[in-house]
Amino acid sequence: MNKKISQQAKMLREIMSYHFKAVDLTLYLDTHPSDVKALAEYNHTTQILNNLTAAYEQCYGPLTVFGSAMSQYPWRWIEEPWPWQVEF
Amino acid sequence: MSSRKIFYPVEPIGACFPDARLAQAWTPYQCIGMIFDPAVGLLEGTIYPELVRPYEPHPHIPDEIVQRRMLGL
């Protein structure tokens, strides 16, 4: 595995972990909407997730095909490895 | 509306994941406390330590059923 893919996979794993944390917090908040501590944790997690996503997309291109990140020239989406091509 | 019918092949029950639990009807009521580091949560399948299986069964479940579940019946 070359160094670029290794770093890319590392960033993807971190994004996946924060994404999972955000999802799990939303499930809790759905049944505990007034939990201030959980809400703060969710907002903090979302901020980190947004920062990680922006940093990844700056280096490797968009994570979702449209509506989330702008693309550099040329169109970056087709330059991304498919999910099954990334070695975690 | 099209009248064409689509037939999907029938997959044998449990063919892919014979030991998988596909649904959970009850989980313990939570009060948020410590939560896992995101990387640990991803591995455990939950960020809440109290939801790592096996957890305490519902207090109203009869002992007989609890014991059957512990034996995997």
- Among A1-15, A43-57, B15-29, B51-65, name the one with the lowest average pLDDT: B15-29
CB distance B64 to B46 below 8 Å? no
Lowest mean pLDDT among A13-27, A62-76, B19-33, B38-52: B19-33
CA–CA dist A18, A65 (Å, integer): 20
Distance from CA of A65 to the nearest CA of B (A): 24
- The sign one gets for the Cα dihedral A26, B19, B71, B41 is negative
**Chunked mean pLDDT (size 10), chain A, 88 residues:** 74 96 95 94 97 93 87 85 76
CA gap A21, A77 in Å, rounded? 26
**B11-20, B36-45, B57-66: which has the highest mean pLDDT?**
B36-45
pTM (2 decimals)?
A: 0.72
Spatial separation of the C-alpha atoms in residues B38 and A18, rounded to whole Å = 6
Q: What is the mean pLDDT of chain B?
A: 75
A 29-48: CB under 8 A from B: 32, 35, 37-38, 41, 45
Collect all residues of chain B within an 8 Å Cβ-Cβ radius of residue A13: 39, 42
**What is the structure's pLDDT at A76?**
87
Quote the minimal CA–CA distance from A40 to chain B in Å.
12
ipTM of the complex: 0.78
Which of B 8-67 lie inside 8 A of A, CB atoms?
Answer: 30, 32, 35, 38-39, 41-42, 46-48
What are phi and psi for residue A41, nearest 5 degrees? Answer: -65, -40
Dist. CA A80–CA A75, nearest whole Å: 10
Q: Which two tokens stand for residue A32?
A: 């505990």
The whole-number pLDDT of residue A46 equals 97
At residue B41, what is the residue type?
G
d(CA B55, CA A34): 25
Q: How many of the other CB atoms lie within 10 Å of CB of A25?
A: 23
Domain ranges of chain B: 38-70
Is B42–A25 a contact, with Cβ atoms under 8 angstroms apart? no
User: Containing domain of residue A17, as a range?
Assistant: 3-85
Using a CB-CB distance cutoff of 8 angstroms, which residues of chain A are in contact with residue B38? 14, 17-18, 20-21, 45
Q: Say how many domains are in chain A.
A: 1
For chain A positions 43-82, those within 8 Å of chain B (CB to CB) are 45
Please give the pLDDT value at position A44: 97
